[in-house]
Structure 1
Amino acid sequence: MSQARNHDGDPRSTRLFGHRVAAAGPLLPVLITLVIGLVFLLGGAGTVWLPLLAAGPALAASTDGPRGVLGVGLLAAGLGVALGARDGASGAELAAVPAALLAVTSASALAGALRSRRERVLADVRSVAEAAQHALLKPVPPTVGPFEAAVRYSAAAAEARIGGDLYALVPTPYGVRLIVGDVRGKGLPAVGTAALVLGVFREAAYDEPDLLAVVDRIERSLARNLGADDFVTAVIAGCPRPGVLEVVNCGHAPPLLVRASKEIEAVEPAPPAPPLGLRALTDQTPGLQELTFADGDQLLLYTDGVIEARDRDRAFYPLVEGLTRHLSDEPSRTLGAIHDELLAHVGGRLHDDAALLLIRKPVPCAPPAPQLPTAEAVLGDRVG
């Protein structure tokens, strides 16, 4: 799936860096303990400063497990006794130094055990989040029906894999249908609403021949389940037959239609309609727009987190200009460049969920030109 999580950079590079740090981490407390011992050995600082050896096991609590902490602590205690004896420390001092170091070691070992337990719990939570991500935001293959497709998604919450933005792209008996939406609010309630919308959409997209009927089913479901102040902005689109694109906009940012000539136009809703979940408060109903969608055309759907992303000068990200700069015939490459530029625009961290979905109708390959017979072949036929 062409998705960027959070945000992000290359996840493989991040994992590789993390593995290298984890591999070097257990060695650091040992090196620090040996360096402190070497300084005492060469400098003759005296036994007063020997408790500084406790820095080794204290640091080991953040990089290693209880066994590693105990090992570093025993090393520090042994060095402390040896250095104290070399400097002629009394018996009471020789006993006090290892006792203090072993006390620090015991506390550090306990802290290391608790840290390891929290890391295991966090790993379990992350695995559940990954499973929820794949169940809610299913992977989008590079080709869906007759279209090429790509997705980039970033959740603003730290360590999050999913948020309040949603997308789906599904082939149905009535053509390929897609949705991009933005749930009001953040956190788990927004994720629950996104799951509700996507579940109804995927079911209705297969059942309803009319795209407006799909929207109506989502609206009815939200009216039963959402609070009075909750709503979802969304664009639902479909391609019922070759060369035709249907769009229903429910209070969402207008999609960008890119013609094969590279001309970009915003598909403004006509007429404007309220977000999903608020239809009961107004007499407006969404309308169905029908557009041509020829070979080479592309459609970009996105959420507010993209166009409302600000830089240090509080300037919004110019999506149309970014799309113009990075437009190509490969949707994944186009969205990858836009997503990287978006992260650079905000300084590396988005403050709102952001989703981008791009589909393209590929240009059919021209049939190979018939090969004309060469002069030698013609002459050979005549001689024969």
Structure 2
Amino acid sequence: MSAGQQGSSGRGRRRQSGHALLLVAAVLVVLITVSDIVTPTDIHLGPLLVIAPAVTAWAEGPRTTGCVGALSVAAQAFIGWHSHALLSRNVIVQVISLAVLSVLIVALSVVRDRRRRELAQVRSVAEAAQHVLLWPLPDRLGSLELACLYLAAEDEASIGGDLYAAARTGRGARLLIGDVRGKGLPAVGEAALVLGAFREAAHHLTALPSLAASLERSVIRYLADFEPEEESGERFVTALLLEVPDDEPVVRMTSCGHVAPLLLGSDEGRVGVADLDPAPPLGVGLTDAGGSTVDELPFGPGDTLLLYTDGVVEARDRHGVFYPLAEHASRWAGCAPGVLLDHLRRDLLAHTGGRLGDDVALVAVRRVPPSPAGSRVARALRGALPDGAAAVRTEPGGPEPVPPGPYGPEPGGPEPAPR
């Protein structure tokens, strides 16, 4: 379900709730008025009429709330007229008090509506920023079916520090999922940097360790200029880089401090956790092409990789119990990626009561037999690569030819010094 559809359904539910509360308020005015009239004269129920505008303000705007408040004041005056005490000091004080309280409730309703409009504007801007930063992943990429999900922890924004991206190369597909330290809009800058660097470097570097080293250099250059002094040395990005070749039933991964993905078998209920040898996170100055390792796992047709950020497994329920992702993902191991993430989204929100403590990103990747059209594209892309580029093997720690330019060291130039 898209954000627009969720917003429309939410507004529809609020309208229905508002109409119901308005009916309750009208019934309360009638019941309190009749009850005050039929009860003995020493019992005064009129002051309870303030409940009606208070209930109305929960879901309706200032105008409707003001109308209900005026109706309550009129009902209080009618009670005084019926008891032949309209001009008595007691009734006058009750009418004035009810009018003042109704005005205060309307004023609070005005402030709340203004805050609601500001929040809606911030959310619309954040949603636009999310669409620009986190490009929607394609449903199909070569021999892969993809689906992605992003849930933000910030009430005022729909974007934070979690990120994901995919790129089609001549030999297969490459994917990235990562998590910038922190959450909310302050982490957007670093997320945008990493995504931009990956989208370009993924097509130039033939080995995952070199790609990780390129992202490390980009993050260090960014932090050297934009890292706040009070957070010096504390900013970093965890990342998981994946490569799925078209012609081999494997997936290769290089982890820079990121959580290992789940491998869901084609038969329902079989779930495994990838055993990775992670390098340090990006931005701490310790990730280089020789220090990162490549972990290789079997990944055949029908298998699904579930990539996620730590906000998923660190989500707690009201008793403090962490969300058991592997256990719950096994229930839908045989589902298509989109269906799998839809189940996990509902299950995660139900587990946390709709309140996330950290941003959440999920990417499901299922391998399917490549289509003839995808094979033609792969051959065309492979033919467009420079001579010999497709023949370079991805060996952990091995030498890696790096083209000159912003994503690799200039010929003869020094490597960036560690931070």
Correspondences of 1:336-355 after superposition (within 5 Å): 336-346=342-352, 349-355=355-361
The answer to whether structure 1 residue 146 and structure 2 residue 143 are counterparts is: yes
Sort the Cα spacing of 1:175 and 1:120 in 2 relative to 1 into closer, same or farther, 3 A.
Answer: same
Match of 2:133 in 1: 136
Output the CA distance in 2 between the equivalents of 1:354 and 1:102. Answer: 47
Q: CA deviation at 1:316?
A: 4.7
Shift in Å at residue 306 of structure 1?
2.9
Normalising by structure 1, report the TM-score: 0.79
Match of 2:108 in 1: 111
**Which residue is 2:341 aligned to?**
335
Distance in 2 between residues matched to 1:356 and 1:82, nearest whole Å? 61
Find 2:31's aligned residue among 25, 35, 38: 35
Which whole-Å CA distance do the structure 2 matches of 1:15 and 1:166 have between them?
29
Show CA shifts across 1:319-340 (max 9, x none): 4444433211512223333444
1:89 matched to 2:77? The reply is no
Deviations 1:189-224 (A, max 9, x none): 333322322222223234545444432332112112
- TM-score calculated relative to the size of structure 2: 0.73
Distance 1:196 1:23, change over 3 A: farther
Paired residues of 2:254 and 2:295 also in contact (CA < 8 A): yes
8 A contact 1:279–1:285 mirrored in 2: no
| Among 136, 161, 164, the residue aligned to 1:164 | 161
Between the aligned partners of 2:55 and 2:128, the Cα distance in structure 1 is 34
User: Which structure 2 segments of 5+ residues have no match?
Assistant: 224-231, 373-419
Mark the CA change 1:284 to 1:309 in structure 2 (over 3 Å): closer, same or farther.
farther
**SS class of match (1:26):** helix
Instruction: Kindly indicate whether the alpha-carbon contact (under 8 Å) linking 1:274 and 1:284 is maintained by their aligned counterparts in 2.
Output: no
Identity over aligned residues, as a percent? Answer: 41
Match of 1:234, SS state, is strand
Q: Which runs of 5 or more structure 1 residues have no equivalent in the other structure? A: 367-384
Distance verdict in 2 for CA 1:101–1:314, change over 3 Å:
closer
Q: Distance in 2 between matches of 1:3 and 1:69?
A: 32
Contact 2:53 2:102 in 1 (8 A): yes
Q: Assess, with a 3 A threshold, how the Cα gap between structure 1 residues 62 and 203 changes in structure 2: closer, same or farther.
A: same
Mapped contact 1:40–1:46 kept (Cα < 8 A): no
State how 1:211-230 maps to structure 2 within 5 Å.
Answer: 211-226=208-223, 227-230=232-235
Find the counterpart in structure 1 of residue 275 from structure 2: 268
Counterpart-to-counterpart distance in 1, 2:44 and 2:335 = 71
Q: 2:48 aligns with which of 45, 48, 52?
A: 52
Superposition CA RMSD, Å:
3.5
Return the match for 2:239 from 227, 234, 240.
234
- Aligned ranges for residues 341-380 of structure 1 at < 5 Å? 341-346=347-352, 349-363=355-369
**Computing the radius of gyration over CA atoms, which structure comes out larger, 1 or 2?**
1
Q: Distance in 2 between matches of 1:224 and 1:318?
A: 38
Distance in structure 1 (CA, Å) of the matches to 2:344 and 2:83: 65
Q: Which amino acid aligns with 2:339?
A: R
The answer on 1:302 being equivalent to 2:308 is yes
For residues 44 and 320 of structure 2, the distance between their equivalents in structure 1, rounded to whole angstroms, comes to 55
3-state DSSP class of the match of 1:277? coil
> 2:162 touches 2:180 (CA, 8 Å); kept in 1?
yes
CA distance in 2, matches of 1:315, 1:359: 28
**TM-aligned CA distance change 1:210 to 1:4, over 3 Å:** farther
Q: How many matched pairs? A: 360
1:196 matches 2:190: no
Structure 1 Cα separation of the partners of residues 363 and 348 of structure 2: 15
Q: Structure 1 residues 174, 282: closer, same or farther in 2, change over 3 A?
A: closer
Amino acid at match of 2:59: T
* Letter of the structure 1 residue corresponding to residue 361 of structure 2: A
